[in-house]
Structure formats: structure tokens, C-alpha cells
Amino acid sequence: MRDIILIQVSGNDRPGLTAAFTRILAQYHLNILDMGQAVIHDTLSLGILVEVPVGAQAAPMLKDLLFEAHKLNISVRFRPIDLPRYEEWVAGQGKDRYIITLLARRITASQLSAVTAVVADNDLNIDNINRLSGRVRLDDEEANPDARACIEISVRGEPKDVAAMRAAFLDIANQQNVDIAFQKDSAFRRNRRLVVFDMDSTLIESEVIDELAAEAGVGEQVSAITEQAMRGELDFDESFRQRVALLKGLDAAALERVQQRIRLTEGAERLIGTLKALGYRTAILSGGFTWFGEYLQRLLGIDYVYANQLEIENGQVTGRVVGDIVNGQRKASLLRAIAAQEGISLEQTIAVGDGANDLPMLGIAGLGIAFRAKPLVKENAKQAISTLGLDGVLYLIGVRDRDQAELLAAQQRPHA
């Protein structure tokens, strides 16, 4: 009869501990069935599931392990696993896995407690918990306002009610100043290839049409039309035409002045730089204007830009746009077209936006992210980021802080 034994090692970490124990296992010709190791604040936790060959004796091996642990001042425990339990564990390997990502300026015990309670209520098992962000400084938030924290939780099983679980996560996010992403752990999650962005209030902090309206002295009128559209009294196309019409006669030099005032959203440069280093393609799909989209394309190295072309004649804005308006449905169509041109599936795409007209593209993308969006958009998007900058998107595709630093440094090195 074969023996299956779980060996659990814990204590102060230092080089050579894993080698010391596996060397003993090798002497007894054991098979490794499973293994996991974590180090938290220089404290090691190592688990090894071994099979003792038929006819071999486990007792000498256990004695040698105990002696080695005593010599190294490390704790070791043994737990026999019966064969039916092991076979049940093997049979469970086909279960779905999901990734839950917590993003915030600080991760608190209250946030983690609330999230893990929802996990438990849905009969999901937690397999792994990893920190993706760098080691936490003890500066307060005022001294370090751009602090970032992220942990990734891998769970196994099928939720009782996915919609109810997502709703519970959204409630926690709203109450506890944390973003919670819930994704299926598939091959597509780790192999996205295209990211498309809305521009205004997403890639940049401002709404360009409001800035142009201020230059034209029609800011209040444009804002009133925007409010009508938000209340559902006007569709996007009609509200857009009315707002652009109010810009008639604006000196084209005003576009240059507005461009100089543009501020990139927190984390935008870090995100785009890292994506480029990873070989991603990027696009701007905007209901704003090509003048500003093409400026960002040059500044950040964006691959595609689709926006509205503001008509200018004799050095003045005519109050019209050239060609079709880039509305919500057009954004979704453009996402499909770019994905087809790049030869990738929609599952390999990411879309990021903040407005209701971004929902169609957020809905068809493999990963749709509502960024600092209104409640309606957050509720209808697959994922949402409100607490961090745009570079929080990197955590949702599993990119650690140290990976980001390495990739950005490699980009800056001169190529031979």
C-alpha cells in the first residue's frame, strides 16, 4: 500500500531551507504530487505532498526530516492523506477558477474580511493569495497620495449566484473605498493583446468639448445640453451636434491653447509604456476630436486613433464635424474592426472608458473596465477602477509592480 503524506514546514526563511528538505526526500526516491511555498515578511511556509513508493517505509524519512528541522530551528508537521481523499482532490482539478483582485491606496483587514466572507458564502475555495503591488511604505496617505496596493486571490469552484456576488462586491467597493475585480482565470486573461481607450475623462483628465466651449464663451449652454443628454432627453448624436454647433466661429488657435492645458490621467504614461513593452497594441476610440487624439497618439505612441474630425474653414470652427459621429455603437464596431485587423479575438481585447457611450465597447471586450465612472456605468461594466490611476489596469492582467519597473527600464535602455 502506498502512503501519501503532506509535509508542512514553517519558520524563519533563509537560503537553502527548501534544498535541505528536498534533498532528504530525494534520498528516499519519493514522488512529489503537489508543492507550494510562500514567504511573508521573511517567514517561510512550505507544503509538499509526497507519495511513498509501495514497499518503502515512511518512518525513516520522517525521522530524518524531524532531525533536519531541529538542526535548522524550523517547525515541521506531517499529515497522512488517505487515498479516497487524494482522488477526490485530483477529481476537483477540472473545476473553474476565478481571480479576485483588490485594488486600493491601502488594503485593510476590513476590506479583505468583507470580500472573503462573500467568497465563503458562495462556497468558493481560496487556493492562493498574492501581492502584486510593491512592499508597503508606512507613510500616511497625505505624504504618499499616489500609493498603490493590490492583492490577487485565486479561488476555485462555481459561485452560487454570479450576479449576486458581483453586486455584493460592488457594495463593498462603494462602502470601503476599494475596487474589486472578478474574472474567470482563463488563458485569455493572461493573453490580452489590444487595449482601447476612451479619451476625455479617461486618458486625459478633462472634457475637451467643455474646454473649447469655455474658450468660445458658451460653457453654460454646452453644459445644459450635456445635462439633457445625461437625463436621457437627447441621444448622444443629437446632443453632440448641438454642442459642436455652439462652437461655430471659434478661432482655430483656441484648439492649440486647450491642447497645452491637457493633463494626462494619473498612471496613463506608466500604463501605455508597460503595454508597449509587453507588445500590446493600443487605440483611442473617442467621441471627442481627432485634433487632440492625434496629439496624444504622438505623445504616447498610440497605434490607432478614431475620433470626430472638427471642421475648420478659414481659420475658424464651422460648428460641424466631418464624417460619421463616433458614438457608442461606432466605438464597438471600431473595436471589432481593429481586433479583426490585428488577427485577435474579442476575448483578447480590453476596453477602458467612463461614460454611457462607452458601454457598448466595454460590453464586447474580453475585459471591459469602467474607469472613474458614474454609478450607472460601473454597475453595467464587467470591472471598475475608481481608487487608483489608469495603471491599475495592469493589476487586472496580473502584471506586478516589479514587472512594470523591469519593463519600463528595458524600454529606456539604448538598443544595440
Residues 6+ apart with CB under 8 A from 83: 2, 4
Q: What is the pLDDT of residues 179-218, one digit of tens each?
A: 999 999 988 887 899 999 999 999 999 999 999 999 999 9
CB burial class (10 A; 0-12, 13-18, 19+) of residue 166? middle
Which amino acid does the sequence have at 67? F
Mean pLDDT of the chain: 91
Q: Which CATH number, 3.40.50.2300, 3.40.50.1000, 3.30.70.270, 3.30.200.20, labels domain 194-207+262-412?
A: 3.40.50.1000
Nearest-angstrom CA–CA distance, 200 and 213: 14
More confident of the two residues 329 and 144: 329
Q: In 3-state terms, what secondary structure has residue 370? A: strand
pLDDT bracket for residue 365 (50, 70, 90): very high
Q: Do 3-90 and 95-184 have matching folds?
A: yes
Task: Kindly list the catalytic residues.
Answer: 198, 200
Q: Over range 319-333, report the average pLDDT.
A: 95
Q: Over range 13-33, report the average pLDDT.
A: 93
pLDDT bracket for residue 230 (50, 70, 90): low
Q: Which CATH number, 3.65.10.10, 3.40.50.2000, 3.90.420.10, 3.30.70.260, labels domain 3-90?
A: 3.30.70.260
Q: Over range 157-170, report the average pLDDT.
A: 92
Residue with cell 475596487: 179
Whole-number percent of the chain with pLDDT over 70: 96
pLDDT bracket for residue 84 (50, 70, 90): confident
Q: Over range 372-399, report the average pLDDT.
A: 93
pLDDT of 232 strictly over 70: no
Alpha-carbon torsion 248, 252, 323, 303, what sign?
negative
Nearest-angstrom CA–CA distance, 40 and 42: 6
Architecture of the CATH domain 95-184: 2-Layer Sandwich (3.30)
Nearest-angstrom CA–CA distance, 223 and 411: 42
Q: In 3-state terms, what secondary structure has residue 406? A: helix
Nearest-angstrom CA–CA distance, 219 and 241: 15
Residue with cell 492523506: 81
Asked whether the beta carbons of 395 and 187 are under 8 A apart, the reply is no
Q: What is the pLDDT of residues 102-142, one digit of tens each?
A: 999 999 999 999 999 999 999 999 989 999 998 877 765 55
pLDDT bracket for residue 231 (50, 70, 90): low
User: Strand 281-289 and strand 194-197: pairing?
Assistant: parallel
Cell triple for 349: 481585447
Domain segments of the chain as ranges = 3-90, 95-184, 194-207+262-412
What count of other Cβ atoms lies within 10 Å of the Cβ of residue 396? 23
Which amino acid does the sequence have at 397? I
Q: Over range 400-405, report the average pLDDT.
A: 88
Q: Over range 24-28, report the average pLDDT.
A: 93
Asked whether the beta carbons of 207 and 136 are under 8 A apart, the reply is no
Q: Over range 282-298, report the average pLDDT.
A: 96
Distances (CA, A) of 371 to 122, 202, 204, 356, 408: 27, 7, 12, 12, 23
Asked whether the beta carbons of 311 and 320 are under 8 A apart, the reply is yes
Cell triple for 314: 478659414
Q: What is the pTM of this model?
A: 0.88
pLDDT bracket for residue 177 (50, 70, 90): very high
pLDDT of 416 strictly over 50: no
Q: What pLDDT is recorded for position 413?
A: 67
Cell triple for 407: 519593463
pLDDT of 256 strictly over 70: yes
pLDDT bracket for residue 412 (50, 70, 90): confident
Q: What pLDDT is recorded for position 56?
A: 80
Q: 351's torsion region: left (phi>0), alpha (psi -120 to 50) or beta?
A: beta
Q: Over range 164-172, report the average pLDDT.
A: 94
